[in-house]
């Protein structure tokens, strides 16, 4: 009996063993194929990065070499600088540098990109490159040469020694100042060198991008955690004992408070964030509950969003856009001043579409940017500004709006809303110069939300 059983089981076990071995071999082959593909991608990104940084240095030199009155070539050169730095940034993002400090290099490329773009888009015939901007370009030309040479030296080592990028993550994980890995140590050296560069004058339009908004700008007293507890309780119309408050960023200028209501009940949990300075202003809140199928209309959802803002002191707000998801809708509002839409003062309200309840608010832009502005008077009339619009556009609405311009400053514009080629657009025409500042594609929800 045992002999008969073994005669049956032995072939089965042999087949299973062979199958297991083949499966393991296939898994090994697939794993190797994935690793080879990843290694090839890393190698390509690094060599492309080296090439584009070298070309960036060359393009900066070409831009500096021409006559100071060659505005057209300056624009062309700066556009190429912007393109090359954008490509270099993209290639850095493809490298396995998650745990390697390379932030100085990335920030440096980002600033070059924004400097080139914002300088190129302005009218260089009226505002040619300044002496300060020439000095910045000269400094960038010298620094990009150093970076390009360092990357070329690394490239030679990588090619000569057949170095693998797959070993980089292991070397980074060792968390040593000198890892012994040529790639890791080389990139750390580049990053440290860039971090030691003296601060350049990027100009106000670029600096404004990197300026961190600070709660110091808020006027009003500094509040305590107990005051925030009372504010949260009033917002929810509950007893303060049901609110837990914690401080964020204690001892820093960015300190704030988080208030959690019903923390032990996931179906009713609500979280709110308040500023510590400025009297404890609400900057964010969210109700965490499951949302059912959509049943309410856009008009009903907007009425709920309007009511939330009115009840909590967000006055003179106007809806400008609407985004609908499966079970919720989000309205974007901007403030108004003397009938002018103030786009930097924006906030969003999230509404559940199962019962029309407002379940979320994001008001950080409004809290940090809202103030009474000295609005300029438009130099151009509405009809003069309209001449910049395509005559084929069917315009349904015109109003004044203050927007953030490409150069970082606030710009008064005429906002033309209309239809062309079967699509809805908002087009912003500078109320002083008549140039097109921005164009925005709208959806039908945007049109309905902003009607009135």
Residues 188, 40 share a domain? yes
Q: What DSSP designation does 221 have?
A: P
Over 50: is that where the pLDDT of 243 sits?
yes
Residues 226, 166 share a domain? no
342 closest CA partner among 414, 426, 409, 401: 401
Low-confidence winner among 2-16, 247-261, 383-397 (lowest mean pLDDT) = 2-16
Residues 393, 363 share a domain? no
Over 70: is that where the pLDDT of 384 sits?
yes
Residues 240, 320 share a domain? yes
Over 80: is that where the pLDDT of 266 sits?
no
Q: Are 360 and 285 a contacting pair, CB within 8 Å?
A: yes
- Name the more confident of 99 and 349: 349
Residues 93, 131 share a domain? yes
Structure tokens at 212: 């961190």
In terms of average pLDDT, the best of 196-200, 208-212, 432-436 is 432-436
Angle between helix 131-160 and 182-195 (nearest 10): 170
In a domain, 144, yes or no: yes
50-59 residue pLDDT tens: 899 899 889 8
Range of the domain at 79: 25-210
Angle at 397 between CA 394 and CA 403, to 5 degrees: 115
Q: Taking residues 286-296, what's their average pLDDT?
A: 86
In a domain, 19, yes or no: no
In a domain, 389, yes or no: yes
In a domain, 13, yes or no: no
Look at the block and give the residue holding tokens 């584009």.
Answer: 52
Residues 390, 338 share a domain? no
Contacts 24+ apart (CB under 8 A), 299-304: 299/448, 300/356, 301/329, 301/331, 301/351, 301/353, 301/356, 302/331, 302/351, 302/449, 303/356, 304/351, 304/356, 304/357, 304/358
In terms of average pLDDT, the best of 28-42, 209-223, 400-414 is 400-414
Over 50: is that where the pLDDT of 216 sits?
no
Q: Taking residues 243-263, what's their average pLDDT?
A: 77
| CA dist., res. 112 & res. 80, Å (int) | 12
Residues 291, 179 share a domain? no
| CA dist., res. 429 & res. 434, Å (int) | 6
Q: 274 pairs with which residues across the strands? A: 257, 282
Q: Are 234 and 226 a contacting pair, CB within 8 Å?
A: no
- Sequence-ordered alpha helix ranges (H) in 312-420: 364-369, 382-386
Residues 410, 324 share a domain? no
223 Rama sector, left if φ>0, alpha if ψ -120 to 50, beta otherwise: beta
Q: What pLDDT was estimated at residue 195?
A: 78
């Amino acid at each position: 009996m045992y002999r008969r059983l073994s005669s049956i089981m032995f072939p089965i076990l042999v087949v299973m063993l062979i199958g297991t071995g083949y499966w393991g071999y296939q898994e090994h082959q697939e794993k190797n194929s994935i690793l080879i593909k990843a290694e090839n991608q890393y190698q390509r990104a690094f060599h492309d990065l080296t090439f584009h940084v070298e070309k960036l240095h060359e393009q900066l030199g070409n831009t500096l070499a021409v006559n100071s009155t060659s505005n057209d070539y300056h624009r062309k050169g700066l556009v190429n600088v912007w393109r090359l730095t954008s490509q270099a940034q993209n290639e850095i993002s493809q490298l396995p540098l998650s745990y390697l400090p390379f932030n100085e290099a990335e920030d440096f490329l980002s600033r070059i990109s924004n400097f080139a773009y914002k300088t190129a888009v302005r009218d260089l015939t009226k505002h040619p490159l300044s002496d300060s901007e020439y000095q910045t370009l000269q400094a960038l030309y010298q620094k990009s040469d150093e970076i390009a040479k360092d990357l070329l030296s690394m490239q030679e080592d990588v090619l000569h020694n057949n170095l693998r990028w797959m070993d980089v993550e292991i070397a980074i994980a060792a968390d040593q100042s000198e890892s012994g890995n040529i790639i890791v140590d080389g990139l750390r050296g580049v990053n440290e060198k860039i971090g030691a560069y003296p601060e350049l004058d990027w100009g106000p339009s670029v600096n404004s991008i990197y300026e961190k908004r600070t709660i110091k700008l808020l006027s009003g007293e500094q509040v305590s955690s107990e005051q925030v507890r009372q504010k949260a309780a009033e917002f929810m119309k509950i007893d303060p004992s049901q609110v837990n408050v914690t401080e964020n960023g204690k001892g820093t200028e960015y300190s704030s408070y988080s208030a959690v209501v019903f923390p032990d009940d996931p179906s009713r949990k609500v979280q709110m964030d308040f500023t510590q300075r400025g009297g404890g202003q609400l900057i964010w809140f969210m109700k965490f509950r499951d949302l059912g199928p959509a049943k309410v209309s856009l008009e009903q959802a907007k009425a709920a969003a309007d009511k939330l803002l009115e009840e909590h002191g967000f006055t003179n707000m106007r809806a400008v856009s609407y985004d609908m998801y499966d079970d919720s809708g989000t309205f974007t509002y901007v403030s108004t001043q003397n009938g002018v839409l103030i786009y930097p003062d924006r906030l969003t309200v999230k509404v559940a579409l199962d019962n029309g309840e407002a379940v979320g608010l994001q008001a950080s832009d409004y809290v940090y940017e809202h103030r009474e502005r000295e609005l300029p008077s438009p130099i151009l009339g509405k009809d003069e500004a309209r001449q910049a619009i395509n005559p084929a556009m069917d315009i349904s609405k015109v109003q004044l709006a203050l927007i953030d311009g490409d150069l970082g400053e606030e710009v008064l514009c005429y906002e033309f809303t209309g239809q062309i080629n079967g699509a809805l657009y908002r087009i912003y025409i500078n109320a002083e110069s008549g140039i097109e500042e921005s164009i925005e594609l709208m959806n039908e929800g945007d049109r309905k939300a902003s009607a009135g």
